[in-house]
Amino acid sequence: MRNVKKYLTLLLLSAGLAACTTASRSDFGGMTFSSDPLVGKIVWHDLITEDLDSARDFYAGLFGWTFEASRGARGEEYVLARKGNTIVAGLLGIDAPDDGQDYSRWLPYISVDDVDAALARAIATGGEVAVDTREVNIGEVAAIIDPQGAVIGLSFSDIGDPDDLTTAPGPGKPVWTELLADDPRAAAAFYGSVAGYQTRIIERRGGEFIILSSGGVDRASMFENPAAGNYKPVWLTAFGVEDPAAAAASAEALGGTLILPVTPDLRDGTTAVVTDPSGAILVLQAWMTGGA
């Protein structure tokens, strides 16, 4: 856990949340924000990468993203990614660690109405604080490690959260967030306590899935880790593509690695799983403009 805390501390000290270091300079035209926190919504995704240049090339080629250079709180390079007029993610470059471990990953953030209170609930239900509450330009952020070892960020924004119109799913945008858990029911109880989620269980090909919702809106899901011996519990970010098989081939051509190809047994042929050139895992989910 110590190494996880180390890289998360670097992340939150350097970049914080969702362009919060550049809120006064970034163009939010075309984006709209809620007046109150959308508690339970996954409001942001940061890529931590050991090769920022390769990441820019990869995601530009794969999703058509454009980029806006920024700086973190201590002057570190932080890149905002856009799909059209919408800021969709942040990219933070880190130095390769001395311990030989791979820290490149996508890190999602859950909106909460009080970061300190959410941290207290996480501790009370078996979680661990990876990074304590830190003030950033437009609010506060923190990060937790759940009882099964998965890492996720928490955020509260003073300017409101990007609303559901701004974050509407589409090609090249985050469309879903899902936890691979060793014990999904226990994980659902934990996140229900931390973020106030309501849960429901559905049966799908491949097993039991748990949907997390808040305010009557489905926000995330979790299912049993099918490769528990090889992969630790992790939150996965899915990005919309029109053709997952073609997108997976493009990812490989751009320097990524194919983990799970499109097959009829994997979400009825709508999903592929790849890594980017620095090893960060992402899901490619079929999503046509206007719906799945």
Count of beta carbons in the 10 Å neighbourhood of residue 83: 20
* Structure confidence at residue 56 (pLDDT): 96
pLDDT of residue 59: 98
Q: What is the pLDDT of residue 10?
A: 52
Q: CA-to-CA distance for 146 and 128, rounded, in angstroms?
A: 6
Please give the Cα distance from 66 to 59 (Å, whole number): 9
Q: What is the largest CA-CA distance in the chain?
A: 48
Run means of pLDDT, 10 residues per run, the chain, 292 residues? 54 46 53 91 92 95 92 70 91 74 86 96 96 85 94 91 91 95 96 96 83 95 80 92 96 96 85 94 83 38
Q: Is the pTM value of this prediction over 0.95?
A: no
Q: Going by C-beta distance under 8 Å and a sequence separation of 6 or more, which residues neighbour residue 119?
A: 129, 132, 133, 142, 144, 154
The per-residue pLDDT for 4 is 56
Contacts 24+ apart (CB under 8 A), 58-64: 58/251, 58/254, 58/255, 58/256, 58/276, 58/277, 59/91, 59/276, 61/250, 61/254, 62/247, 62/250, 62/251, 62/254, 62/256, 63/171, 63/172, 63/239, 63/241, 64/172
Question: What is residue 92's predicted lDDT score, i.e. its pLDDT?
Answer: 87
The reported pLDDT for the residue numbered 23 is 40
Quote the pLDDT of residue 69: 83
Q: Please provide the DSSP assignment of 94-115 as one string.
A: -PPPTT-----EEEEEEE-S-H
pLDDT of residue 18: 41
Predicted pLDDT of residue 19 = 41
Task: Return the pLDDT at 29.
Answer: 66
Q: Looking at residue 16, what is its pLDDT?
A: 45
Do residues 190 and 126 make contact, with C-beta atoms less than 8 angstroms apart?
A: yes
SS3 228: coil
Q: How far apart are CA 260 and CA 226, in angstroms?
A: 12
Q: What is the dihedral of CA 96, 101, 102, 107, to 10 degrees?
A: -100
